[in-house]
Amino acid sequence: MEEKKLSNTESLQLIEQMIGRAKQEEKQNGLGWIIWGWMLFLASFSHYILISLDIKGGMIIWNVFGIAALALMAYNLYQENIAKSSDPVKTYTGELVSKIGNAFFISLLILVVGNYATNADRTGVNFGYLLLLYAFWMYIHGAAFRFNLLKYGAFLNWIGALVIFLWYRELGRHTLLIHAVCVLAGYIIPGYIAQKRFGKRIS
């Protein structure tokens, strides 16, 4: 079948839709970063408090986090499918970041399962691997949408990962605090700033 030729008006409308989608993608309201950030921060800090008070049950916190994370990922995929069906206009950047995001969450899930299976969580070194993965996602996302604060957060997470890898034996439970601080700087603060900027742009 021959491809349908677009009229000048239809071509202009398609270009306008693509430009509009690109602008919308660049705005990034930051809600996802805020939600994930607070979930990770509260899980880490709560676990740290329990260990400091010599109270067992820290892994229950992470089990609850894992269930909530899976539910959130399923909801995000559902919302993404709805958005694709209602708005067929796509941009290369949006598609690429979406695919990298899927790869990130699959890698994160495998890493968590691997840490549990190998008992790496007992040493605290697993938080270094998590920060390494977070940093990769932050840097890619920040570069794609030109949000430098996420790239700065990525470098901080890389530094946090290196510190944990080098001194995890001496740090002990304090690896949880390093994880929490890096999440605060890499997820939560950029998320709120992005949300504030998004609010200004749409007002």
Q: Binning pLDDT at 50, 70 and 90, where does residue 1 land?
A: very low
Is position 185 within any domain? yes
Q: Does the residue 1 lie in any domain?
A: no
Residue for token digits 């993404």? 80
168: pLDDT strictly greater than 60 = yes
Mean pLDDT of 30-40: 86
Whether the per-residue pLDDT at 22 is higher than 60: the answer is no
Structure token pair of residue 155? 């470098």
Name which of 88, 95, 83, 92 is nearest 13 in CA terms: 88
47 in a domain, yes or no?
Answer: yes
* Dihedral (Cα; 195, 200, 202, 203), 10-degree rounding: 130
Residue 3 lies in a domain: no
Residue 96 lies in a domain: yes
48-91 residue pLDDT tens: 999 989 888 777 888 788 788 778 777 766 766 665 555 555 56
Asked if the structure places residue 2 within a domain, the reply is no
pTM of the model: 0.75
Q: What is the pLDDT of residues 136-157, one digit of tens each?
A: 988 988 888 788 888 999 999 9
Token couple for 167: 């001194």
* Domain containing residue 107: 8-202
In the chain, the number of structural domains is 1
